Amino acid sequence: MTELTYLDAGRTALAEEMRRDGRVWALGEDLGRGGVFGQYRGLVDEFGPARIADTPISEATIMGAAVGAALVGSRPVVEMRFSDFALCAVDELVNQAAKARYMFGGQGRVPLVVRQPIGMWRSSAAQHSQSLEAWYAHIPGLVVVAPATPADNYGLLKSAIRCDDPVVYMEHKDLWPAVGHVPVDAEGGLVPLGHGRLVQAGSDLTIVTWSRMVDVAMAAAALPDVPSIEVIDLRTLWPWDRAMVLDSVARTGRCLVVHEAVQAGGFGGEIAATVGEELFGRLKAPVRRLGAPRIPVAYAPVLEETSRITAAQVADAARRMV
């Protein structure tokens, strides 16, 4: 085990995969100076500008080049800097990368990873704070990943790079400095895609969550007078671990989905509907969702707080369900 930050865990994973496989390379804005958050720091010194490639400020160009490169056999890692900016490249990702394997009858694959930092961070305001994972989970052909810990950012990024389909890889900006033990293993260390993580066992209520909200759910579970809470970190939103969620809710009888993204139209609705369809007769309370209000994230800290899901809110929702 090695102690790493969430940011360094991702950088270590990418470096190891680039050493293992000469087809892996990265492209995006500012990579030559280490990336906007430092997540590529030092990599150009080892791998050179041909494999850590700086690009013009054009997300559509970056994504289009990566899709073409993936179709002819390389494995690009695309840096979008902020998930908000990736919207400029949605046509290349959604209409081209996601569809290629199906439309070419399996003869063309697009093994690329699109790193999209998400979430609220230091008053980044409305155009730098969104969590848009539900958009991508809606698109057939895309894998969607949202790691919550340094260990998962290491193991899931390695799995994403080895995946033969396009992966939208969403790292939460507020987690960059988080420190944890990481089972570094250059030859393996993979966390499989599509498998959730049981963070804490409990008997009264299941909380299903992912990314930054895992820590918030755990903080809520530690507050006074909170029922016994089982916390599941989905880790991968598509494919998501239906079996783990349904098994847990079948035991506890209650399900609360917590996410930072806007609640309306969020991925929590998919989980709630699935639990309702599969376990209706066994539920002790209606399934609940807790997500952000449908408002742009404000710049002013006091207004930004109105979009933030807190441990106190999660604890209050849990108490009301039992």
Dihedral angle, C-alpha 242, 233, 315, 247, nearest 10 °: 30
- Phi, psi (rounded to 5 degrees) for 179: -110, 140
208 CB-near residues (< 8 Å, 6+ apart): 232, 234, 245, 255, 256, 257, 258, 268, 271
Please give the positions annotated as active site.
Answer: 128
> What is the distance between the alpha carbons of residues 156 and 9, in angstroms, rounded to a whole number?
10
The partner residues of 127 in beta bridges, in order of sequence, read none
Q: Residue 126 burial (CB < 10 Å; 0-12/13-18/19+)?
A: middle
Per-position b or e across 163-189, b if 16+ CB within 10 A of its CB: bebbbbbbbbbbbbebebebebeeeeb
Tell me if residue 70 falls in helix, strand or coil.
helix
- Phi, psi (rounded to 5 degrees) for 231: -110, 125
> What is the distance between the alpha carbons of residues 248 and 121, in angstroms, rounded to a whole number?
32
